[in-house]
Amino acid sequence: MHFHLPKPMHGWRQFAGEVGVIVLGVLIALAAQQVAQSVQWRGDVDDLRAPIRAEMDRNLFTYPYRAKQKPCINARLDELQRWLEGWRAGRPQRLAGPIGIPVSLVIRTSAWDGRDPATLSHMPIAEKLEYGFLYSEFANNEVHRLDERAAWIELANFDGATELDHDDMMRLQGLIFRARLRDKRIDQNAARFIKRAAESGLVPTKERDLPDYENELCRPILPPPSPAVARY
Protein backbone atom coordinates (compact mmCIF):
# COMPACT_ATOMS: atom_id res chain seq x y z
CA MET A 1 0.00 0.00 0.00
CA HIS A 2 1.38 3.46 -0.92
CA PHE A 3 0.58 6.71 0.84
CA HIS A 4 0.77 10.03 -0.98
CA LEU A 5 1.08 13.36 0.78
CA PRO A 6 -1.63 15.74 -0.31
CA LYS A 7 -0.30 18.50 -2.51
CA PRO A 8 -0.99 22.07 -1.50
CA MET A 9 -3.64 23.72 -3.58
CA HIS A 10 -1.27 26.24 -5.16
CA GLY A 11 1.94 24.26 -5.11
CA TRP A 12 4.77 23.66 -2.68
CA ARG A 13 6.58 26.92 -3.38
CA GLN A 14 3.58 29.02 -2.52
CA PHE A 15 2.90 26.84 0.53
CA ALA A 16 6.47 27.34 1.76
CA GLY A 17 6.05 31.05 1.32
CA GLU A 18 2.84 31.07 3.30
CA VAL A 19 4.47 29.06 6.11
CA GLY A 20 7.43 31.43 6.05
CA VAL A 21 5.11 34.40 6.45
CA ILE A 22 3.40 32.74 9.41
CA VAL A 23 6.73 31.86 11.06
CA LEU A 24 8.02 35.38 10.46
CA GLY A 25 4.85 36.82 11.96
CA VAL A 26 5.24 34.62 15.04
CA LEU A 27 8.89 35.66 15.44
CA ILE A 28 7.99 39.32 15.09
CA ALA A 29 5.25 38.93 17.68
CA LEU A 30 7.60 37.16 20.07
CA ALA A 31 10.26 39.83 19.55
CA ALA A 32 7.72 42.59 20.13
CA GLN A 33 6.57 40.84 23.30
CA GLN A 34 10.18 40.53 24.45
CA VAL A 35 10.78 44.22 23.80
CA ALA A 36 7.60 45.15 25.67
CA GLN A 37 8.62 42.98 28.63
CA SER A 38 12.10 44.47 28.60
CA VAL A 39 10.66 47.98 28.66
CA GLN A 40 8.31 46.96 31.47
CA TRP A 41 11.17 45.48 33.53
CA ARG A 42 13.30 48.58 33.02
CA GLY A 43 10.43 50.68 34.33
CA ASP A 44 9.95 48.35 37.28
CA VAL A 45 13.69 48.48 38.07
CA ASP A 46 13.61 52.28 37.92
CA ASP A 47 10.66 52.29 40.31
CA LEU A 48 12.60 50.01 42.67
CA ARG A 49 15.86 51.91 42.35
CA ALA A 50 14.48 55.36 43.17
CA PRO A 51 13.29 54.69 46.77
CA ILE A 52 16.36 52.58 47.54
CA ARG A 53 18.72 55.36 46.49
CA ALA A 54 16.66 57.97 48.35
CA GLU A 55 16.79 55.80 51.47
CA MET A 56 20.58 55.43 51.20
CA ASP A 57 21.00 59.18 50.69
CA ARG A 58 19.09 59.78 53.94
CA ASN A 59 21.10 57.10 55.73
CA LEU A 60 24.35 58.69 54.61
CA PHE A 61 23.30 61.92 56.31
CA THR A 62 23.55 60.17 59.68
CA TYR A 63 27.35 60.47 59.40
CA PRO A 64 27.70 64.28 58.99
CA TYR A 65 24.81 64.74 61.44
CA ARG A 66 26.82 62.95 64.10
CA ALA A 67 30.13 64.52 63.01
CA LYS A 68 28.81 67.97 64.01
CA GLN A 69 28.80 66.73 67.61
CA LYS A 70 32.44 65.61 67.54
CA PRO A 71 33.88 68.63 69.40
CA CYS A 72 31.33 68.22 72.20
CA ILE A 73 31.81 64.45 72.39
CA ASN A 74 35.58 64.80 72.69
CA ALA A 75 35.30 67.63 75.21
CA ARG A 76 32.90 65.62 77.40
CA LEU A 77 35.09 62.51 77.36
CA ASP A 78 38.10 64.69 78.23
CA GLU A 79 36.13 66.14 81.14
CA LEU A 80 35.18 62.69 82.39
CA GLN A 81 38.79 61.53 82.15
CA ARG A 82 39.90 64.60 84.10
CA TRP A 83 37.14 63.99 86.65
CA LEU A 84 38.32 60.40 87.06
CA GLU A 85 41.97 61.45 87.44
CA GLY A 86 40.92 63.91 90.13
CA TRP A 87 39.28 61.13 92.15
CA ARG A 88 42.35 58.96 91.73
CA ALA A 89 44.57 61.77 92.94
CA GLY A 90 42.40 62.54 95.96
CA ARG A 91 40.97 65.76 94.45
CA PRO A 92 37.32 64.81 93.92
CA GLN A 93 34.96 67.23 92.19
CA ARG A 94 31.22 67.23 91.65
CA LEU A 95 29.82 67.33 88.16
CA ALA A 96 27.93 70.55 87.50
CA GLY A 97 25.33 68.96 85.24
CA PRO A 98 24.23 65.83 83.41
CA ILE A 99 26.81 63.99 81.33
CA GLY A 100 24.49 63.79 78.32
CA ILE A 101 24.54 61.52 75.30
CA PRO A 102 25.32 61.97 71.58
CA VAL A 103 22.25 62.29 69.38
CA SER A 104 22.15 59.70 66.62
CA LEU A 105 19.84 58.88 63.73
CA VAL A 106 18.41 55.44 63.06
CA ILE A 107 19.44 53.71 59.84
CA ARG A 108 16.42 52.90 57.66
CA THR A 109 16.15 49.78 55.53
CA SER A 110 12.43 49.55 54.63
CA ALA A 111 12.95 50.26 50.91
CA TRP A 112 15.73 47.66 50.65
CA ASP A 113 13.97 45.09 52.84
CA GLY A 114 10.75 45.45 50.82
CA ARG A 115 12.41 44.97 47.43
CA ASP A 116 10.71 42.63 44.97
CA PRO A 117 13.06 39.71 44.18
CA ALA A 118 11.77 39.36 40.61
CA THR A 119 12.37 43.04 39.87
CA LEU A 120 15.73 42.99 41.61
CA SER A 121 16.83 40.09 39.40
CA HIS A 122 16.58 42.42 36.38
CA MET A 123 18.83 45.06 37.92
CA PRO A 124 22.43 45.09 36.61
CA ILE A 125 24.45 42.67 38.72
CA ALA A 126 27.18 45.19 39.57
CA GLU A 127 24.63 47.73 40.81
CA LYS A 128 22.76 45.11 42.79
CA LEU A 129 25.92 43.87 44.49
CA GLU A 130 27.01 47.43 45.31
CA TYR A 131 23.69 48.21 46.97
CA GLY A 132 23.96 45.02 49.00
CA PHE A 133 27.46 46.01 50.12
CA LEU A 134 26.35 49.52 51.12
CA TYR A 135 23.46 48.21 53.19
CA SER A 136 25.87 45.80 54.88
CA GLU A 137 27.95 48.83 55.83
CA PHE A 138 24.87 50.52 57.24
CA ALA A 139 24.23 47.43 59.36
CA ASN A 140 27.83 47.51 60.59
CA ASN A 141 27.48 51.15 61.55
CA GLU A 142 24.36 50.32 63.53
CA VAL A 143 26.43 47.93 65.66
CA HIS A 144 28.85 50.75 66.52
CA ARG A 145 26.06 53.31 67.00
CA LEU A 146 24.05 51.15 69.36
CA ASP A 147 27.07 50.13 71.43
CA GLU A 148 28.21 53.75 71.65
CA ARG A 149 24.72 54.69 72.83
CA ALA A 150 24.77 51.90 75.41
CA ALA A 151 28.14 53.14 76.73
CA TRP A 152 26.84 56.69 77.14
CA ILE A 153 23.68 55.46 78.85
CA GLU A 154 25.91 53.66 81.36
CA LEU A 155 28.00 56.80 81.77
CA ALA A 156 24.80 58.63 82.72
CA ASN A 157 24.70 56.46 85.86
CA PHE A 158 27.46 58.73 87.19
CA ASP A 159 25.26 61.84 87.02
CA GLY A 160 25.26 63.48 90.45
CA ALA A 161 27.81 61.03 91.86
CA THR A 162 29.31 62.15 95.17
CA GLU A 163 31.57 59.17 95.81
CA LEU A 164 33.58 56.85 93.58
CA ASP A 165 35.10 53.67 94.94
CA HIS A 166 37.72 51.56 93.18
CA ASP A 167 35.15 49.55 91.24
CA ASP A 168 33.38 52.75 90.15
CA MET A 169 36.63 54.21 88.88
CA MET A 170 37.49 51.05 86.97
CA ARG A 171 34.05 50.95 85.40
CA LEU A 172 34.20 54.64 84.50
CA GLN A 173 37.59 54.18 82.82
CA GLY A 174 36.23 51.25 80.82
CA LEU A 175 33.23 53.23 79.65
CA ILE A 176 35.38 56.19 78.60
CA PHE A 177 37.59 53.83 76.60
CA ARG A 178 34.55 52.13 75.06
CA ALA A 179 32.99 55.45 74.03
CA ARG A 180 36.26 56.63 72.48
CA LEU A 181 36.71 53.35 70.61
CA ARG A 182 33.24 53.46 69.10
CA ASP A 183 33.69 57.12 68.23
CA LYS A 184 36.91 56.31 66.39
CA ARG A 185 35.39 53.37 64.50
CA ILE A 186 32.38 55.42 63.41
CA ASP A 187 34.64 58.21 62.11
CA GLN A 188 36.87 55.81 60.21
CA ASN A 189 33.93 54.03 58.65
CA ALA A 190 32.20 57.29 57.74
CA ALA A 191 35.18 58.67 55.82
CA ARG A 192 35.60 55.47 53.83
CA PHE A 193 31.92 54.78 53.35
CA ILE A 194 30.84 58.23 52.13
CA LYS A 195 33.67 58.17 49.58
CA ARG A 196 32.58 54.75 48.32
CA ALA A 197 28.91 55.75 48.14
CA ALA A 198 29.83 58.88 46.16
CA GLU A 199 31.20 56.63 43.42
CA SER A 200 27.62 55.42 42.92
CA GLY A 201 26.30 58.99 42.85
CA LEU A 202 24.93 58.83 46.39
CA VAL A 203 25.16 61.93 48.59
CA PRO A 204 24.15 62.59 52.23
CA THR A 205 20.69 64.19 52.16
CA LYS A 206 18.94 65.75 55.13
CA GLU A 207 15.29 64.92 55.65
CA ARG A 208 13.07 67.93 55.19
CA ASP A 209 11.50 67.84 58.66
CA LEU A 210 14.59 66.79 60.63
CA PRO A 211 15.10 69.31 63.46
CA ASP A 212 18.49 70.49 64.62
CA TYR A 213 19.46 68.89 67.89
CA GLU A 214 20.00 70.69 71.17
CA ASN A 215 22.66 68.70 72.90
CA GLU A 216 23.58 69.07 76.56
CA LEU A 217 26.96 67.50 75.72
CA CYS A 218 28.16 70.96 74.75
CA ARG A 219 27.58 72.39 78.25
CA PRO A 220 30.70 72.07 80.46
CA ILE A 221 30.22 70.07 83.65
CA LEU A 222 33.65 70.78 85.19
CA PRO A 223 35.65 73.98 85.66
CA PRO A 224 38.40 74.36 83.06
CA PRO A 225 41.71 72.79 84.08
CA SER A 226 44.10 75.04 85.92
CA PRO A 227 47.07 76.19 83.83
CA ALA A 228 50.29 74.44 84.62
CA VAL A 229 52.54 76.31 87.03
CA ALA A 230 55.76 77.32 85.36
CA ARG A 231 58.88 75.96 87.00
CA TYR A 232 62.26 77.58 86.88
Report if pTM > 0.75. Answer: yes
Q: Which domain holds residue 188?
A: 53-218
197, burial (CB in 10 Å: exposed 0-12, middle 13-18, buried 19+) = buried
Residue 229 DSSP one-character state: P
Q: What was the pLDDT predicted at 207?
A: 86
For the chain, the farthest-separated pair of C-alpha atoms sits apart, in whole angstroms, at 132
Q: Is residue 226 part of a domain?
A: no
Residue 97 DSSP one-character state: S
Q: Give the pLDDT mean for 202-229.
A: 81
Residue 195 DSSP one-character state: H
> Tens digit of pLDDT for each residue in 155-207?
999 999 999 999 999 999 999 999 999 999 999 999 999 999 999 999 999 98
Q: Over the chain, what is the mean pLDDT?
A: 86
Query: Nearest-CA neighbor of 218 among 82, 122, 74?
Result: 74
d(CA 90, CA 55): 52
Band the pLDDT of 209: cuts 50, 70, 90.
Answer: confident
> Tens digit of pLDDT for each residue in 33-42?
665 566 565 7
Residue 89 DSSP one-character state: T
- More reliable by pLDDT, 133 or 230: 133
Q: What was the pLDDT predicted at 19?
A: 66
Q: Is residue 152 part of a domain?
A: yes
Band the pLDDT of 223: cuts 50, 70, 90.
Answer: confident
Q: Is residue 99 part of a domain?
A: yes
Q: Is residue 31 part of a domain?
A: no
Q: What was the pLDDT predicted at 15?
A: 58
Q: Is residue 10 part of a domain?
A: no
d(CA 154, CA 9): 95
Q: Is residue 194 part of a domain?
A: yes
Q: What was the pLDDT predicted at 208?
A: 82
User: How many domains does the chain fold into?
Assistant: 1
Q: Is residue 36 part of a domain?
A: no
Q: Is residue 155 part of a domain?
A: yes
> Tens digit of pLDDT for each residue in 86-125?
999 999 999 999 999 999 899 999 999 999 998 988 899 9
